[in-house]
Amino acid sequence: MADAPPTLEIITVDSPRAAVLRRRAQPVRAVTREIQQLIDQMFDAMHEAHGIGLAAPQVGIGRRVIVIEFQKSRHALVDPEILRQEGEEIAPEACLSIPGWVGDVPRALKVVVRARNRRGRYVTINADSMLARILQHEIDHLDGILFPERIRDRATYHHVDDAPSEVAAQEPPQS
Ligand code: ZN
């Protein structure tokens, strides 16, 4: 076995490579071994950053791949599409690519998402509330959209100082 590849760096908006965050990512179509390896590396990078979701452009790869780990359920989704959405809920969001900033974002309360999984099989996810929010945030990344663009009430967008880890759970989840 070869050595494990190094953890992927998360691209932030002030990075020299930030342009990838604003570009529409390309469809994957065939879930190859390279894509499976990308998925595994994205899970590693997300865990290291204590995130709950991550999109491939956030690690500098302009392909339509997202990973999510929320309440013990793991999702690796390739070419995800929102088939239906319903309702609205406004809640705080943060982003691993925009460290320290939070703001209230309106999102559909429920979504139905179709995608392929790590094995290339089609899956349909019926999600509401927080999981629906994470899915919308990550799929936005694939279209080059960052959460501040979705904020309706600009007064809610603010910077928070680094908090000790014991209160991290009270901060908005980062993805
Ligand atoms: Zn994000």
Q: Is residue 5 part of a domain?
A: no
Cα(147) to centroid of ligand 1, in Å? 7
* pLDDT over threshold 80, residue 34: yes
In a domain, 141, yes or no: yes
The domain spanning residue 43 has which CATH number? 3.90.45.10
Does 38 map to a domain?
yes
In a domain, residue 13? The reply is no
Confidence grade of residue 170 (pLDDT, cut at 50, 70, 90): very low
**145 Cα–ligand 1 center, Å:** 9
Confidence check: pLDDT of 63 > 50 = yes
Q: Give pTM, 2 decimals.
A: 0.91
Q: Is 87 contained in some domain?
A: yes
The pLDDT, as a whole number, for residue 162 is: 65
115-167 confidence digits (pLDDT tens): 999 999 999 999 999 999 999 999 999 999 999 999 999 999 999 976 443 33
The Å distance, Cα 10 to ligand 1 centre, comes to 10
Residue 33 maps to a domain: yes
Q: What's the mean pLDDT when you consider all of the chain?
A: 91
Average pLDDT of 99-120?
96
**Count of domains forming the chain:** 1
111-147 exposure pattern, b = at least 16 Cβ within 10 A, e = fewer: bbbebbebeeeebebebeeebbbbbbbbbbbbebbbb
Does residue 8 lie within any of the structural domains?
no
Q: Is residue 131 situated within a structural domain?
A: yes
Catalytic residue annotation: 138
Q: Kindly state the average pLDDT of the residues 78-96.
A: 97
CB 112 within 8 A of CB 26: no
Residue 4 Cα, ligand 1 centroid: separation in angstroms? 26
In whole angstroms, give the CA distance from residue 135 to residue 92. 15
Domain region containing 164: 18-170
Q: Is the pLDDT of residue 5 over 90?
A: no
Indicate the pLDDT class of residue 86, thresholds 50, 70 and 90.
very high
Q: Is residue 3 pLDDT above 90, yes or no?
A: no
